[in-house]
Amino acid sequence: MPEPRTWQLTAGSAALGLALAATAVTLAGPWDSGQRTAERARAAAAQSPGGTRHAPAPAPPHRPAPAPSAPGVLPALHGPAPATRPADLAAVLGPLLADPGLGPLRAASVVDTSTGLRLYGAGDTTPMTPASTTKIATVAAALSALGPDHRLTTTVTAAPDGRAVTLTGGGDPTLDPGRLKTLAADTARALTARGHTSVRLAYDTSLYTGPALHPIGPNENLAPVVALMTRGGRLDDSRDGPAPRTGDPAGDTAAAFAALLADAGITVTGDPAPGRTPKAAPLARTYSAPLTDLAERTLTHSDNDLAEALARHTALAHKAPASFDGAARAVHDELARLGLPVTGARFADGSGLDRRDRLTAALLTALLTRAADPAHPALRPLLTGLPVGGFTGTLADRFGTAPAGAGLVRAKTGTLTGVNTLAGTAVTPDGRLLAFAFLAGRTLSPYEAQPALDRLSAALTAPR
């Protein structure tokens, strides 16, 4: 039986983990929670989407706001407590990994983030289809290549004669009607100051190249990947998850911008048409939130549109084509540059919707461990953006069969037909922060596979 002082330290460590999780929930943002139904279409008939609807987020300020506090949200839980012993962990995880609900293809990796010690591994170097846990790699590459304060910018530029303006897409799928209205008002003021009250409108999407449609084709999971869109091309009032999508996000955004210019007193002659941006300083611009915020949103709500955008901006940072192929190469190369184990990894997209993606459990835990390293604060949103088990994002309605993990497990989900994955972090009773990745293939039902994955991750938080 532990001495009173030891018991107090142990309890304090566990409480600290819960407090940190609660803090991260508060700071993660006002986006809707619930499992991404887009990834579990096969299960939609039997289970309605979970999660709590929150009030809409206030429109972001026109001027850049200060960088968020993500680096301080979840400091690594390092300390003098003894590390979990690999032999003990194997005795616990082995039987859980053998659950028939996980199908015949399974891989697991568990690492102590404070020491880098591999505590458990089973098939952890075998490349498998990762589904949406791919976003962990995409976000890490973007943060590394672009920096945490990077913002996506949409601009308006006037022709030399002032008779035409071009709305230029900066690859920001978070552009919303409020910011678009402010951009139109700023443009109208600049045009009026120059003595112009009537213009033609063009729109430029040349930042991206290659096919706009994902290989899965038109789908409610993802809008056409173009450099100019509003609200991810959604045609309803949803904020995340599956939704009807426009087939022409750029054209729709340009038409909306023309109407907003008219409301601001500028006559737009003719219909908006594709064009190239004049070589001049922009009249007006609008900024996305900092990349730290975008990274967290991508992970918390498994935002496919943002993931594809971040992959393309990683390509641009590598001076590669901003296409599916260019982004795939850039993400791979950026992770290799960081010295991560990319052997066998394949990135066919940034979102994980493509079944040709391949990652290893060892790569996922290496990414998470690197993010917990105080020497790499730029990668910290990789941890703070992870959904909290039983509370937020795609884990809001999980851990019903593994309540011990609620609040102590943070993880990115992955769900395709026959593929179920979970990768993230868990706080142990002695206050350690463990990184884990559990991948399952050829699963028969998410209703069997997901609870099995939850029990595996929850087991890391249980006393031994």
Q: Where are the alpha helices (DSSP H) in 264-358?
A: 291-300, 304-317, 324-337
Q: Which residues are catalytic?
A: 132, 135, 302
Contact 297, 138 (CB under 8 A): no
State how far the Cα of 383 lies from the Cα of 369, in Å rounded to an integer.
9
Q: How many degrees, rounded to 5, is the angle at CA 334 between CA 333 and CA 338?
A: 115
CB count within 10 Å of CB 90 equals: 16
Residue entry with tokens 């100051």? 193
* Cα–Cα nearest to 111, from 386, 419, 460: 460
* Cα–Cα nearest to 271, from 258, 290, 253, 286: 258
State how far the Cα of 424 lies from the Cα of 426, in Å rounded to an integer.
7
Which one-letter DSSP state was computed for residue 61? Answer: P
Q: How many degrees, rounded to 5, is the angle at CA 363 between CA 360 and CA 364?
A: 90
Instruction: Tell me whether strands 105-112 and 118-122 are parallel, antiparallel or unpaired.
Output: antiparallel
